Chain A
Amino acid sequence: MYKRFADAIIIGGGVTGTAITYYLSKTGIQPILIEESNLNAGASGACDEGIVLQSKHTGIMLDMVLKSAKLYKTLEDELNYPIGYRNVGGMIIINEEKYIPVIETFIKKQQQQGLNIHMLHPSDIHKQQPGLSKKVVASAFSKDDCNVYPFKLTLGYVEAAKRLGAKVLLHNRVNNITINKNTLGDKRRELRITTNEHEILTPIVVDATGCGSRQIGKMLGLEIPVFPSRGQIVITEQIPPLIKHQIMDAKFIVAKHKPQLVEKNNALSNLNVGLTIGQAETGNTLIGGCREQVGYNTSTSFSTIREIVKNAADFFPFMKDVSIIRSFAGLRPTTPDNLPILSQTPIPRFYIASGLGGDGLSLSPIVGKIMADLIMKGNCNIVDISQLSLDRFFNIG
């Protein structure tokens, strides 16, 4: 057991934890990032590449993603690392007339909040994205949606943070966190982290463990309501650049606003499958998506994969002749109200940045910045994070 001190400890090597490590390092302190396995072991290693603005609800989520998108524009230069950032633009495609008014209302509110988005003229849809089935009757388009490669993004944050003095402990699982009672007034010793290899005393701890948060909370007697929502993704062989944009089925949005409009009696909606598709820089396409409540199970299933590729062939008939080479599943760390938790806690200097659901990649730089402010200044002027506090789940009425 090695004993040491740290200015701050961040637990979890996904996009959230690595972003926080970087932005905290920038304030001049030297944190340690602890990851039980390796970078991207959780949701951040099993997701799409989308920085998607147009799927966000107006209010704090759209506010955060707009600010995040701005940070992403210069992030690659700032980190001095190739993170695979590409401004591809995004479409929300509609294949049912009855969804059109829902999406029109949705994007009108987004426009008022400053999002660059519009409905495409019907005759432009198939020019904007050739190969799309004629079943697509309408589509929204935002040129601000982007792609980023999550594996390189986390490495980029980590390498930049290390240059500023941060340290990274991989293959270290946090097994316990305790509060040091007898610190003789020395704040540096207030919290004690125990991993399989180390014991570290530190004044500041940030939980960024995604679906691990409930477990971390239990170590301190806190209830952190973050639950897994599984998504499965199919990867195809590399093909020429045919899928130009990050594309999402309007059904995902309609299901939230007007659930009664989405058919419940067919196989697709039972699995909660709605197409998401994008093409990576390598030429592989990534096809999703679904939301399944199956606990912590990260296996893929034949039936869901079949629905996903069927859906892809339905929207993009040419995809029928494309080969799939791999599939994987990831767990979105999801909260009961689908908003993240970016928060202080009843335990002084123990913070939470978790519950990022299906949006963690899109939000990583802004989350890093918000947490650095919260930790170093005691408050955050970037967005009103009171809505994202842990106690919102417990202050009823």
Chain B
Amino acid sequence: MKEDYVVCRCEEITLQEIKSAIKQGAITLDEIKKYTRAGMGLCQGRICSTIIIEILKEHGYLPQYSAPPHSRIPVRPVKIWEYIGEDQDV
């Protein structure tokens, strides 16, 4: 992988940015996300998570450090009107 390879396409975060976050001390998926925004975009890390875990492993961090970030509401992007239901008086 080249340094300018885009690891997270939603937020446009490159391999180089991931590596520099690891250098600054980020060693889990959640920490990489906070340092770089990788995984914060529309797909919520569905695509880039596995790549980032591989990069972490290459840097010597054990898979148990790579617990996935909390899965939280919503599971997929949802329009607010769908979420609150059409019966609601808004």
Residue positions of A touching B, CB distance < 8 A: 37-40, 45, 151, 155, 168, 170-171, 235-238, 282, 299-300, 302, 305-306, 309-310, 312-314, 317, 319-328
The reply to whether the CB of B51 lies closer than 8 angstroms to some CB of chain A is no
The reply to whether the CB of B57 lies closer than 8 angstroms to some CB of chain A is no
Nearest 3 pairs of A and B residues by beta carbon: A323-B77, A320-B81, A170-B25
Tell me whether B42 and A168 are in contact (CB under 8 A).
no
- Residue A313 contacts which of B25, B40, B90 (CB distance < 8 angstroms)? B90
Q: In the complex, A385→B88 CA distance in Å?
A: 48
**Interface residue count on the B side (C-beta < 8 Å):** 27
Tell me whether B35 and A322 are in contact (CB under 8 A).
no
Q: In the complex, A155→B34 CA distance in Å?
A: 11
Tell me whether B42 and A310 are in contact (CB under 8 A).
no
Tell me whether A326 and B40 are in contact (CB under 8 A).
yes
Known A171-B27, A314-B90: A300·B78 in contact at CB below 8 Å: no
Q: Which residues of B contact A238 (CB under 8 A)?
A: 42
Q: In the complex, A299→B84 CA distance in Å?
A: 20
- Residue B70 contacts which of A237, A309, A328 (CB distance < 8 angstroms)? A328
- Residue A38 contacts which of B25, B37, B74, B83 (CB distance < 8 angstroms)? B25
Tell me whether A151 and B42 are in contact (CB under 8 A).
no
Q: Which residues of B contact A319 (CB under 8 A)?
A: 80
Known A170-B25, A310-B90: A322·B79 in contact at CB below 8 Å: yes
- Residue B79 contacts which of A37, A45, A320 (CB distance < 8 angstroms)? A320
Tell me whether A310 and B88 are in contact (CB under 8 A).
yes
Known: A39-B34, A155-B35. 12 other contacts (CB 8 A): A38-B27, A305-B73, A305-B83, A309-B80, A313-B84, A320-B81, A322-B80, A323-B79, A324-B78, A324-B80, A325-B42, A325-B74
Q: Which residues of B contact A326 (CB under 8 A)?
A: 40, 44, 72, 74
Tell me whether A313 and B80 are in contact (CB under 8 A).
yes
Q: Which residues of A contact B40 (CB under 8 A)?
A: 235, 326
Tell me whether A300 and B72 are in contact (CB under 8 A).
yes
Q: Which residues of A contact B25 (CB under 8 A)?
A: 38-39, 168, 170-171
Q: Which residues of A contact B83 (CB under 8 A)?
A: 305-306, 309, 324
Tell me whether A302 and B73 are in contact (CB under 8 A).
yes
26 contacts between A and B (CB under 8 A): A37-B31, A38-B34, A40-B34, A155-B35, A282-B11, A282-B37, A299-B70, A300-B72, A300-B73, A302-B73, A309-B80, A310-B88, A320-B79, A320-B80, A320-B81, A321-B80, A321-B81, A323-B79, A324-B78, A324-B80, A325-B42, A326-B40, A327-B73, A327-B74, A328-B70, A328-B72
How far is the CB of B78 from the nearest CB of chain A, in Å? 6
Interface string of B64-80 (1 = CB under 8 A from A): 00000010111001111
Q: What is the chain B residue whose CB lies nearest that of A319?
A: B80
- Residue B77 contacts which of A40, A45, A237, A302 (CB distance < 8 angstroms)? A237
Q: Which residues of B contact A300 (CB under 8 A)?
A: 72-73
Q: In the complex, A155→B31 CA distance in Å?
A: 13
Q: Which residues of A contact B31 (CB under 8 A)?
A: 37-38
Which B residues between 14 and 49 are near A, CB-CB below 8 angstroms? 24-28, 31, 34-35, 37, 40-42, 44
Tell me whether B78 and A310 are in contact (CB under 8 A).
no
Q: In the complex, A236→B84 CA distance in Å?
A: 14
Q: Which residues of B contact A328 (CB under 8 A)?
A: 70, 72
Known A40-B34, A237-B42, A306-B83: A155·B24 in contact at CB below 8 Å: yes
How far is the CB of B59 from the nearest CB of chain A, in Å? 14
Q: Which residues of B contact A320 (CB under 8 A)?
A: 79-81, 90
Tell me whether A324 and B77 are in contact (CB under 8 A).
yes
Q: What is the chain A residue whose CB lies nearest that of B65?
A: A171
How far is the CB of A271 from the nearest CB of chain B, in Å? 14
